[in-house]
Amino acid sequence: MKYAALIIPALFLALFCFAIFKKIRLYDCFTEGVKEAVPLVLSLFPYLAAILMLSELFERSGLSAAITQALAPAFSALGIPPEISKLVLLKPFSGSGSTALLSEIFSAYGADSYIARCAAVAYGSSETVFYISAVYFAGSKKNLAKPVVIALISNFLSVILGCLLCKVL
């Protein structure tokens, strides 16, 4: 995908040219923005650490595998191929893990197979929900259960729709 790679340098070039035109001191302005980076990361860190330790425990204790296995029959009943149910269950927790799993599926079934296309759509149409919730709501005392459940339900239904669409499109 050549043109996707063009977007970012083109954006920077266009913005910086515009900023020069507006007589902005680029160096001062850019460093002013970067200044916010460290406090932002520091404020997220404790919550990231707790969530990632928990998800590591969840994964390594076998709890996640047990839940995957228990849910697999329900998944196939809904039209999600059993080969990708692990991907669907992993994606909310781990971006890097599901990327690795996706390329495994590609090499095991061939990148143009129905399974691989379903997996690609499942991967592309959902997000690492728990990670995003940890980052976005870090430190807030808000009730997270509702938005997280809504996001999980929406993503799950979109996977079912995606698997259907892969059959016709």
Partner 1 sequence: MRHNNSLPRRINYRVNVIFTLVFLIAAAIFLLSAPEEFLPALLAGGEKAAALSLSLLASYCVWLGFFKVLEQSGLADKLARRLIRPLGKLFRSQDREALSAASQNMAANFLGLPGAPTPLGVKATQKFLAAQNGYGADMLFVLNATSLQLLPATVIALRAAAGSAAPADIFLPTLLATLFSSVLGAALVFLTRKKR
103-132 binders of partner 1 (CB under 8 A): 103, 106-107, 110-112, 116-117, 120-121, 123-127, 129, 132
Residue type, 7: I
Write down the least CB distance from residue 77 to partner 1, Å.
19
Please report whether residue 145 would count as binding partner 1 according to CB under 8 A. yes
Please report whether residue 57 would count as binding partner 1 according to CB under 8 A. yes
Cα separation, 32 vs 26, in Å, equals: 10
Residue type, 44: L
Cα separation, 58 vs 47, in Å, equals: 16
**67-86 residues near partner 1, rule: CB under 8 A:** none
Please select the residue that binds partner 1; options are 13, 45, 69, 74, rule is CB under 8 A: 45
Quote the strand ranges of the chain, DSSP E.
Answer: none
Q: Which is nearer to partner 1, 85 or 133 (CB)?
A: 133
Please select the residue that binds partner 1; options are 58, 65, 72, 114, rule is CB under 8 A: 58
Rounded to an integer, what is the distance from CA 136 to the centroid of its chain? 14
Q: Which is nearer to partner 1, 72 or 147 (CB)?
A: 147
Task: Let me know if 29 is exposed, middle or buried by CB neighbors in 10 A (0-12, 13-18, 19+).
Answer: exposed
Q: DSSP secondary-structure letter at 113?
A: S
Please report whether residue 153 would count as binding partner 1 according to CB under 8 A. yes
